[in-house]
Amino acid sequence: MAKRSTLYIIGVFLPIWTFLTYTFCKEVFLVRKCQNIDSLYTKYSQRVKEEYDSNRRRNYFPEIKLPRNSYDDDTLNYTRQDDICQTYPRENATILMLVRNSELEGALDSMRSLEDRFNNKYHYDWTFLNDVPFDQDFIEATTAMASGKTQYALIPSEDWDRPQWINETLFEDRLREMEDKGVLYGGSKSYRNMCRFNSGFFFRQSVLDNYDYYFRVEPNVEYYCDFPYDPFRIMRLKGKKYGFVITLYEYEETIPSLWDAVEEYLETNEGSILNKEDSAYAFLTDSGLVGKYYPIVEADSDYNLCHFWSNFEIGDLNFFRSDEYKNFFETLDAKGGFYYERWGDAPVHSIGVSLLLRPDEIIHFDEIGYFHSPFGTCPASHTIRLDQRCRCKSDDESAIDITPHSCLMRWWKNGSGKYFLKETQRQV
């Protein structure tokens, strides 16, 4: 009997007991392990949440000073807004694109990006300009992409084509010379029309008559970050007349005599009354050491070749429509340099605004991330890049701001730039 019960214990009870004990311990161990993993995950997610919440919280406490690469503390603070259920007031402004039918894909890429990053909240109108009529495909696709109204205008021949008074023989000779030298777009006739149009005629198009501000957009560009504000509103509230994101040096071979023409303009009745101290003249002529850099090329004239890259610009149309700017443009145009050389609209606009405006009427939008091949700009502050969902790094290969190719530091020093540089200047 005792033998039977021993056998029973060994054969039945012990395996069951072992199995149950094993299962129980395993469960306990697993639960523990899971709890450990759980608490690990909880810890991680709490850390991430806190980190990101602190970003979000900034929206509710706009007075907090961001560690940002900016000289204007008010721009961001003014606009921190809760996006949900918000209606956004609009300024009297339009987005403006001069573009060819053949550039439809690139135009849509740029539109998609700007709509996503800015305009889907505001629904500003899109105005398209062309020297030939837009085709149906272009109109249909761009209208579908826009969140605002679209309008399409044909540029009159007298605002686009080469004027009669251009000496055709000289023009053809110079074109060939520049092409042989390998100057970028040196042999292109249409590029010259485009540059002259953008310098002196875009603002005269009747389709723009009723607007105060424009935002120039080109095909194939990208806006890297959400806009933290409506730049048009900043322009109006702060009395700005010209806004840029990138500034760099021009190829001197495209403008050999542009500065001579500017100097002649400065001798005219209108030019001679300008006060160089009240303008950003020094931004155009300072060729000393700024930060670590001298200008990348030593220019032949007093112009240091710095210009605002005009493929991105936000401007006050009333400034361009003013007699002062028109007179400045017409004095230059009469020299024929848009055709005999290859003057770009970027240096012409830049010299115009630097001479005719006060430095504080020009704004560097340093929270806007932007790319036009081959250069880009990306906000320097990590918190801004998270806050504005940027998809760029400020040390990307294409990021130009703090490189020898950029004139930004020269702007900080001579324009309405960073206060600490301005202070240094004053002390010197």
Ligand X SMILES: Nc1nc2c(ncn2[C@@H]2O[C@H](COP(=O)(O)OP(=O)(O)OP(=O)(O)O)[C@@H](O)[C@H]2O)c(=O)[nH]1
Q: CB of residue 245 vs ligand X: minimum separation in angstroms?
A: 14
Tokens representing 291? 């930060």
Q: Which is nearer to Mg ion, 205 or 311 (CB)?
A: 311
Q: Which does 219 bind (CB under 5 to 8 A by kind): ligand X, Mg ion, none?
A: ligand X
Q: CB of residue 156 vs ligand X: minimum separation in angstroms?
A: 13
**Three-state SS at 410:** helix
Q: Which does 194 bind (CB under 5 to 8 A by kind): Mg ion, ligand X, none?
A: ligand X
CA gyration radius, the chain: 30
Q: CB of residue 184 vs Mg ion: minimum separation in angstroms?
A: 11
In the chain, the amino acid numbered 399 is: A
Q: From edge to edge, which strands make up the β-sheet containing 213-216?
A: 150-154, 125-130, 93-98, 213-216, 313-316, 242-244, 362-364
d(CA 312, CA 113): 14
In the chain, the amino acid numbered 48 is: V
Residues lying near ligand X in the complex (CB under 6 A) are found at 98-100, 103, 130-131, 190, 194, 218-219, 311
Q: What is the DSSP letter of 202?
A: G
Instruction: Let me know: does 122 contact 91? Beta carbons within 8 Å.
Output: no
**With CB under 5 A as the contact rule, which of the stretches 73-81, 218-226, 269-277, 419-427 interacts with Mg ion?**
218-226
Q: How far apart are the first and last CA of the chain?
A: 111
Q: CB of residue 114 vs Mg ion: minimum separation in angstroms?
A: 15
> Which residues lie below 8 Å from residue 187, measured CB to CB, with a gap of 6+?
175, 176, 178, 179
Q: Which does 279 bind (CB under 5 to 8 A by kind): ligand X, Mg ion, none?
A: none
Query: Does residue 109 bind Mg ion (CB under 5 A)?
Result: no
Enzyme catalytic residues? 313
Q: Which is nearer to ligand X, 219 or 228 (CB)?
A: 219
Q: Which of residues 296-325 bind Mg ion (CB under 5 A)?
A: 311
By Cβ distance, which residue is nearest to Mg ion? 218
How many residues in the shown chain lie near Mg ion by CB under 5 A? 2
d(CA 150, CA 108): 13
Q: CB of residue 311 vs Mg ion: minimum separation in angstroms?
A: 5
Q: Which is nearer to Mg ion, 311 or 394 (CB)?
A: 311
Q: Which is nearer to ligand X, 100 or 123 (CB)?
A: 100
Provide φ and ψ at 162, rounded to 5°: -60, 130
The residues pairing with 248 across neighbouring beta strands, listed in sequence order, are: 307, 406
Q: CB of residue 160 vs ligand X: minimum separation in angstroms?
A: 8
Q: Which is nearer to ligand X, 120 or 190 (CB)?
A: 190
d(CA 108, CA 106): 5
Query: Does residue 218 bind Mg ion (CB under 5 A)?
Result: yes
Q: Which is nearer to ligand X, 98 or 392 (CB)?
A: 98
* Positions in the binding site for Mg ion (CB under 5 A): 218, 311
